[in-house]
Each structure stands twice: as C-alpha cells, then as structure tokens.
Amino acid sequence: MGVEDDRARFVELFQRHYGAVMRYAARRVGRDRAPDVVNDVFLVAWRRLADVPVSEPLPWLYATTRHLIGNELRGRSRQARLAARMGGFTEWVEADHADVVVDRLRVRRALAELSEGDQETLRLAAWEGLDADAAAAVLGCSRVAYKVRLYRARRRLAAALGLVRNTPAEPALGPLAHEGGS
C-alpha cells in the first residue's frame, strides 16, 4: 500500500467514524475535552494505520479512545493528589450540566455506584450501541465473557436504581447456568 492509499484510507476512516468517536469521548470526558481526545485517537490511528482493522475499525477506535481517556484520568488523579499535597483544591465540574434531567441524574448516580468495569460494559451497549462482538473487542475479552459482564452489570444497575428489592447472589456459573435446561 502506498502513501496515497494510506491517506485515502485514513480520510475515509476519519470521515466515517469521527462523529461516533466524538460522542463516545464526550460522554466520558465532557464536550470541552472530547475534541482533544478525539484528535489524539486519530493521530494514533494514522501512526498505526496498519493495526486498524479494515472491516470493523470502530471497536479499535473505541478501545484506543478508552485507553487514552484512562491515561488522562490517571493523570488527573495524580494532579489532584499533588494539588492536595500542596494545599490547593481542584474542583472537577461535569461538562453537560444544563442538559441533565431528573431521570438522567438518577441513572448517573446509580451508574456511579457501579465499578468502572460495569460502567464501561453498560455504556458500550446502551450509549455506543455496540453488539456483543464489537463490545468484547473494545474490552479485550470473549463474546461470552462480555455477555456475562453485561448481564451482571445490568443486574447491579437495577439494584442501584432500586428496581429490584433483593438481589440474590449470582450462581457460580452466572446466567449461563440456566441455559442448559432443567
């Protein structure tokens, strides 16, 4: 593949998936920070174009976004610890405060009670609309493992929202224990 072929492939990748990656990033770091994250994602994509799957690039782009955001959040955490040691106080403000309605706040609070893994599992399904194969690729696990994670995350979210009264302990094999019949 020549430079012109690479350029054409990258332009098509960018035009086709920029909006989805921007929405993914904005929901995680806010509208103000998302453009910088997305620029970094596509810079990585350009540098590693040979690693970007030709047939299904979106899960790869989401995984790259997720890794870059994780790096940023770890950096923020380090900065906050440093500011606290220096006697300063850093306040983090949620980006899209004006758009939030009562139900959205309730869901966000319940979502925040869950582990980061549960949150990401739910976001990939509900916000990004990924199927199990694509979501599993983003998380770096098998399709079956993703479906088990999604089932359990949904149960924990329902409990956090107060939609179920008693959440019984998960069976040893999770939801797959009931698929074989009897």
> Model confidence at 90, in pLDDT bands (50, 70, 90)?
very low
CA distances from 130 to 11, 71, 93 (A): 23, 23, 28
SS3 117: helix
Q: Which residue has the tokens 């983003």?
A: 138
DSSP tag of 87: T
DSSP tag of 99: G
**Class in CATH terms, 100-175:** mainly alpha
Q: Among 2.30.40.10, 3.30.465.10, 2.60.40.1180, 1.10.1740.10, name the CATH number for the domain at 1-95.
A: 1.10.1740.10
Query: What are the boundaries of each domain within the chain?
Result: 1-95, 100-175
Q: What is the pTM of this model?
A: 0.55
Q: pLDDT per residue over 67-88, tens digit each?
A: 998 887 777 677 666 656 655 4
Distance CA 2, CA 125 (A): 37
Question: What is the SS3 assignment for 92-151?
Answer: CCCCCHHHCCHHHHHHHHHHHHCCHHHHHHHHHHHCCCCCHHHHHHHHCCCHHHHHHHHH
